[in-house]
Structure 1
């Protein structure tokens, strides 16, 4: 056999061996594990038992998104049930006065008595009082009235009367409703429908030049009208009912 023929037979073999020879591979370095979020130090003697998720969303905004608050609550419950079947859930709705300012979630935290939100509100109220605001401040949370920065000497019944009207702002309250709601059978000084006028006059006298915030609706009763120089502090006592 010639040398040329030998080369023709052996060359493909050498080429195949070169192609199929194992190629050393370098194993990629394992990706670093994601760091767990830093945990805040817990007060001594305490342990986590659950969590609260505050959601700032009113019915109108939920409807605009094509859902309702109840739908969102049920979706969250299903997710929690899938992740942790033994978890117990409880949901409530946060109520606040109509027109309350601020971010929705902050209003929710305050309505549901979240501790840090309450502490911040108390600090804000203290700073506001230090500025000695003028006008009238009806402080529902502390059961008091400030006039030109000074505490007014309202009796318990006088404050209740003013508070009843304030909480029904813009609605005329009949004398019969005031008597039945603020006085009970057996009260020594329970007024009649006519003598309620005497209590209103005393209340107005203590309001001084702001007496017209309590208006008389002839033949019907009384109404509270908000003025620019009147501030209402509702505080954090609004009840939040079980709704879901």
Structure 2
């Protein structure tokens, strides 16, 4: 549920540790850019390739747990096969090089309007600007978006988003976070609405787009 964290090699060893002292390396992601036709030409398939890589990792470290998923993207997706895979799975660093290589166009033409909620990258953009949401503000928005067909009560939000907190907050905490979230959403703040006596609800709006990375597991 978090973006990739930079790591550095430990002094005098090949072990990795997080840049922050509170973080440690817990695993890794291997992106492989290859389509089914290319895999077939090599006498294999994406599913078989993923399964064989997982099996090989298991022989190296029997205790290792693994999960494989195939990236599903439009056939005309822009970028190299590896860029498309990374983008599909929400790698927040893949856009850096693509933005540098993009054709320059007038600023007035490249700034989109409205709100883009990118669940894969855990980012929210308003009129082209990235909003500086806190972790809990995004979690609240994400929860409401994923349950957009119904009203979500305060008790459910507390139980779902603060269940592991050292100190359990009260309903006032939810109200404060919602108020700050709405403030950052600006003119489209009414997409997160209060249902009096029941809780909160996310409402669709023509200027609000929600993105999520499609995938299926193997």
- TM (normalized to structure 1)? 0.48
Highest Rg: 1 or 2? 1
Q: Within 2, Cα distance between the matches of 1:226 and 1:220? A: 19
**Aligned-pair CA distance for 1:241:** 5.2
Shift in alpha-carbon separation, 1:186–1:149, aligned structure 2, 3 A = closer
Post-superposition offset of 1:233: 1.3
- Please give the alpha-carbon distance, in whole angstroms, between the structure 1 residues aligned to 2:119 and 2:144: 12
Asked if 1:215 is matched to 2:193, the reply is yes
User: 1:235 is matched with which residue?
Assistant: 213
Deviations 1:91-122 (A, max 9, x none): x999xxxxxxxxxx8579x9xxx857536867
Matched, 1:139 2:118: yes
- Whether 1:50 and 2:29 are equivalent positions in the alignment is no
| Equivalent position of 1:11 in the other structure | none
Give the Cα separation in 2 of the matches to 1:181 and 1:120.
Answer: 28
Is the alpha carbon distance of 1:197 and 1:133 closer, same or farther for their aligned partners in structure 2, counting shifts above 3 Å?
Answer: same
Structure 1: distance between partners of 2:182 and 2:146: 17
Determine which of 174, 178, 185 is the counterpart of 1:196.
Answer: 174
The equivalences for 1:1-244 within 5 A come to 48=42, 50-52=44-46, 106=73, 118=85, 131-188=110-167, 190-236=168-214, 240=216
Deviating 4+ runs (over 2 angstroms): 47-50, 105-108, 114-123, 184-188
Q: 1:154 to 1:174 in 2, by over 3 A?
A: same
Name the CA distance, whole Å, in 2 between partners of 1:52 and 1:204. 43
Gaps of 5+ in 2: 1-36, 48-67, 89-93, 103-108
SS of aligned partner of 1:195: helix
Unaligned runs of 5+ in 1: 1-39, 54-91, 95-104
- CA shift, 1:187, in A, is 2.9
Partner of 2:184, secondary structure, is helix
Please give the per-residue CA displacement for 1:166-192, whole angstroms capped at 9, x wherever unaligned: 11122111111111111124434x421
When normalised by structure 2's length, the TM-score is: 0.53
Tell me: CA distance 1:51–1:205, structure 2 relative to 1, closer, same or farther (3 Å). same
* Residue 215 of structure 1, CA deviation: 1.1
CA distance in 2, matches of 1:231, 1:183: 27
Aligned counterparts of 1:142 and 1:172: Cα–Cα separation in 2: 25
